[in-house]
Structure 1
Amino acid sequence: MSEASPRVGFIVGNDFDRTIQFDQEGVVYLQGNNDAGRVLALLPEREFDHARIHIAPSYFRKARRWNVSEIDVFWNMVSDADQNPKTLDAIEKFTADFDIPVIDPPHQVRHTRRHQIALRLAGIDNVHMPKTLLLRNPTLERLKRQVEEAAFEFPAIIRRTGTHNGQMLGVVASLEEIEGVYGDRNNDYYLTEFVDFRRADGWYRKTRFFLVGGDIVVRQHVVSENWNIHGRSGREMADDSPQRLEAKAIVGGGFAGLPEITRAALREIGDRMGLEYFGLDASVDADGRVLVFEANATMNFLPSSGHMRGRSAAALEPMLAAVRKLVLAKAGQRTTKT
C-alpha cells in the first residue's frame, strides 16, 4: 500500500457503452452500477484518494490501458448481473492481472441474480425467501414443468430481468395470466412468489439494510398502505404521524435496536451472499422474522439529491464508518501481499 492515504479504484461501466472513457471528467452511463463512489466521497477530504476506472466489454480490444500502479483497492460497482454480464467478464479479466484486492469481485456479483439469491438464502432460520423462477423464452408447457419441479405457489409477481425500483408487469394468479410473455425471445423474466406481509394493523413495512464488510446499517424504514413500497411511499404521511415516527425510531435505533433473531438472520444472510457491500430490502414482522424482497449490490444508498434528510439522516454516520472500515481492511490485504 502506498504511504499516502489508500487509493481506491472505482470500476464502473455497462454493456451498452462501447467506448472506454479515460477522461476522468467524462460522463459515463451507469445503468446497473451502484453509488458507493458517492458514499465514499462524503468522507473527510484526503481520508481516501480515489479514481474512476471505466471498463466496457471492448476494453481488451483497445490499445490504451488503465495505469493502476497507485491503486490499493479495486471497488467493483458494476453490480447488476442481468444488465451487464459482458462487462463483468471484462472486469474479471482486468482485475486478474493485478495483485490488488477487490470489493465485490465480478465472479461473486455474477451469482446474485434473483433466482440464484432465492436458492442461496433459502433455509435460514427466521428468514422467508420467496421462490423465484427465471423464465427464458417461456411457453406455457415449459413453465408448467418449472412450477411443478420447484413446488412454486401462486399468486406471483412477474417482472423483466434487470428491472428495479418496483418495476413489474403485475401480480398474477396463474400461468395462464402471463400469456403475453410466451414466445418472447428478446427478454427474460422473473416469476416470484407473492407474500402478503401486511401486519395486523393494516400497514405494510419495508426496511432497507446495507451490509458492509462485517457491519449492518439500517438505511431506511417505510410504512405504507401499499405493498409495493419505495422510498417515496411514505412521503404522504404527516411528519408527526405514527408511521413517520416509527420509521425515525427504526433508523435511529440502528442494527443494535433490532430484535436478536433479526440480527442473527441478517448476519447469516451476509455470510451467504458472498459480497462485502450490498443492499437488502426486507420486511421484519412483529416477531422479528425477515421476509426478503431483494438482495444485491445494485441498490443505492444516497437519494438522487445526494443529501440525507429527515428520518434517514441517522443512517449516514454508521454507513460512513462501515465504508471506512471496509476500505482500510481491504487496503491492509494489499499491504500483507507486497
Structure 2
Amino acid sequence: MTEGKIRVGFIVGNDADRVIQFNQDALVPVQGNNDADRVLDLCGEGRFDWTRLHIAPSYFRKARRWDTSKIDVLWNMVSDPDQNPETLRIIDRFTGELDIPLINPPQAVRQTRRHLIPGRLAGLESVRTPQTLLLRNPTLDRVRRRTEETGFQFPAILRRTGSHNGEVVGVFDTAAAIEGVYGDRRHEYYLTEFVDVRRLDGLYRKSRFFFIGDDVVVRQHIVADAWNIHGGSSRDYMAKTPHLQDEARQMLVGGFDALPAVTRAALQGIRTRIGLEYCGLDAYIDPDGGILVFEANATMNFQPDFRNPKTQYNRASVAPAVAAVTKLLYAKLGSRATKT
C-alpha cells in the first residue's frame, strides 16, 4: 500500500493493437474490455489509487516492462475471449510471473464464451439457459447435424462472436434460413435458441446484475415492446410509460435484498458457477422468480453516467457497488498478506 491507499493495476489491451502505451494519458483501444476503472472511481480517492497497465500481444517482444513493485492488486479488464484471445494469453504469462492477487484471471474469462455458459449453469434450480452453438465454417449440412445431435430448437438468434450491444445477424426459423453465412470461413458465429419471454402485457423485460466478489448488485431493469432489448431501445418506450419507470425504480431502489428468495438463490448460484469476481449478467426474471439467462460475462459495462433525468433511480446501484468493490479489494489485499 502507498500512502495508506490500495494501489490497483488495471490491465487493459486488445488483439488489434500492437503498440503498447506506457503513457498513462495516451488513448488505448478498449474493445472487449470493461469499465471497472469507472466503478473504482465511484469509491472516491481516499482508499484507492490505480494505474493502467496496457498489454498487447507483442508485450514480451519488447524491451520495456511494466513496474509492478508498488501494485497491491491486479484487475484484468480484458474480458472478451472472442475478441482478444492473444492478449489474454499474454496476460496469463504476465500475471503468472507476479505474486500479486488478481481479479478475473484469463483462464476464468475464457470460460464465459456464449456456447460454454449453458453447460456451466446446467442443473441450477430455477435457472434456464438457452442452448448456444458455436459455428465455425458453417454449412447447411453441418448446422443441421449439430442441431439434430444436440436437440437444438429453432427459432434461433444468429450473431457473430465478439459482438455486443444488441448486434445480431437476425432471428431465423430454420437452419436453411441462415444461408447467408454458409461458407464464411473468416468469421465464427453463435446460434442461440430464441425464447419468447413476453409477459401478458406483451412487453419484454431485461434485468442487469453485477457479481462483485460475493455480492450481487442490481444495476438496471428495462422494458420494451421488442425482443432485442437494450438501454437505447427501451429509453423512449419507458419515457412515455410512467408505470414502467415505477417498476424499474422499485427494483433498483429495493436492490438485491428485495428480490424473491428463489431469485436471490438463483443469482447466487449463477455467480458461484461463473467463477469471476467481477461479472455482468443480463437476464429475465419470470413471474415465479426464476431466471432465464441472456448472457453472463465480464465485458458488460457498469456505465455510471446517469445522465437521463427520468432514470435517476439507477443511482441506487452505486452504493452497493462501491461497498462490494471495497470489500473485494480489501479481501484481495488480505489474501496477499496471508501468503506473506
Instruction: Settle same-fold status: TM greater than 0.5.
Output: yes
**Counterparts in 2 of 1:213 and 1:243: CA distance versus 1, 3 Å:** same
Matched ranges for 1:113-124 at <5 A = 113-124=113-124
Percent identity for Structure 1 against Structure 2:
60
Contact 2:219 2:314 (C-alpha < 8 Å) held by counterparts: yes
Cα distance between partner residues in 1 of 2:321 and 2:139: 45
Q: What is the aligned partner in structure 2 of residue 158 from structure 1?
A: 158
1:139-189 deviation per Cα after TM superposition (whole angstroms, max 9, x unaligned): 111111111121100000000000011100000000000111111111000
Q: What is the aligned partner in structure 2 of residue 324 from structure 1?
A: 326
Q: Secondary structure at the match of 1:124?
A: coil
Matched ranges for 1:83-232 at <5 A = 83-232=83-232
Contact 1:222 1:233 (C-alpha < 8 Å) held by counterparts: no
Tell me which amino acid in the other structure corresponds to 2:46: R
Contact 2:306 2:315 (C-alpha < 8 Å) held by counterparts: no
1:306 shift after superposition: 7.9
Q: Secondary structure at the match of 1:88?
A: helix
Tell me which amino acid in the other structure corresponds to 2:16: F
Q: Secondary structure at the match of 1:235?
A: helix
Tell me which amino acid in the other structure corresponds to 2:19: T
Q: What is the aligned partner in structure 1 of residue 256 from structure 2?
A: 255
**Counterparts in 2 of 1:304 and 1:169: CA distance versus 1, 3 Å:** farther
1:293 shift after superposition: 0.2
1:257-283 deviation per Cα after TM superposition (whole angstroms, max 9, x unaligned): 111000000000001001000000000
1:176-218 deviation per Cα after TM superposition (whole angstroms, max 9, x unaligned): 0011111111100000000000011221110000010110000
Task: List gaps (5 residues or longer) in structure 1.
Answer: none
Q: Secondary structure at the match of 1:320?
A: helix
Matched ranges for 1:212-291 at <5 A = 212-236=212-236, 237-238=238-239, 241-291=242-292
Structure 2 residue 323 is matched with structure 1 residue 334: no
Q: What is the aligned partner in structure 2 of residue 26 from structure 1?
A: 26
1:334 shift after superposition: 1.2
Q: What is the aligned partner in structure 2 of residue 82 from structure 1?
A: 82
Cα distance between partner residues in 1 of 2:69 and 2:304: 33
Q: Secondary structure at the match of 1:38?
A: helix
1:305 shift after superposition: 7.2
Cα distance between partner residues in 2 of 1:307 and 1:332: 39
Between 42-51 and 294-303, report the one with greater CA deviation: 42-51
1:94-133 deviation per Cα after TM superposition (whole angstroms, max 9, x unaligned): 0001110100001110111000112111221111100000
TM-score, normalized by length of structure 2? 0.96
1:205-258 deviation per Cα after TM superposition (whole angstroms, max 9, x unaligned): 100000101100000001111111111233223476111110110111100111
1:307 shift after superposition: 8.8
Tell me which amino acid in the other structure corresponds to 1:281: D
**Counterparts in 2 of 1:126 and 1:21: CA distance versus 1, 3 Å:** same
Cα distance between partner residues in 2 of 1:157 and 1:67: 45
Cα distance between partner residues in 2 of 1:251 and 1:46: 27
User: CA RMSD of the aligned region, Å?
Assistant: 1.5
Cα distance between partner residues in 2 of 1:291 and 1:88: 29
**Counterparts in 2 of 1:168 and 1:303: CA distance versus 1, 3 Å:** farther
1:304 shift after superposition: 5.9
Q: Secondary structure at the match of 1:44?
A: coil
Q: Secondary structure at the match of 1:20?
A: coil
Q: Secondary structure at the match of 1:114?
A: coil
Tell me which amino acid in the other structure corresponds to 1:21: Q
1:311 shift after superposition: 2.4
Structure 2 residue 298 is matched with structure 1 residue 297: yes
1:270-302 deviation per Cα after TM superposition (whole angstroms, max 9, x unaligned): 010010000000000111011100000000001
Cα distance between partner residues in 1 of 2:106 and 2:3: 28
Task: List gaps (5 residues or longer) in structure 2.
Answer: none
Cα distance between partner residues in 2 of 1:327 and 1:303: 19
Q: Secondary structure at the match of 1:123?
A: coil
1:41 shift after superposition: 1.2
Cα distance between partner residues in 2 of 1:30 and 1:301: 14
Cα distance between partner residues in 2 of 1:117 and 1:315: 25
Contact 1:219 1:312 (C-alpha < 8 Å) held by counterparts: yes
**Counterparts in 2 of 1:101 and 1:132: CA distance versus 1, 3 Å:** same
TM-score, normalized by length of structure 1? 0.97
Contact 1:157 1:193 (C-alpha < 8 Å) held by counterparts: yes
Cα distance between partner residues in 1 of 2:174 and 2:52: 46
Matched ranges for 1:303-322 at <5 A = 303=304, 310-322=312-324
Cα distance between partner residues in 2 of 1:178 and 1:163: 17
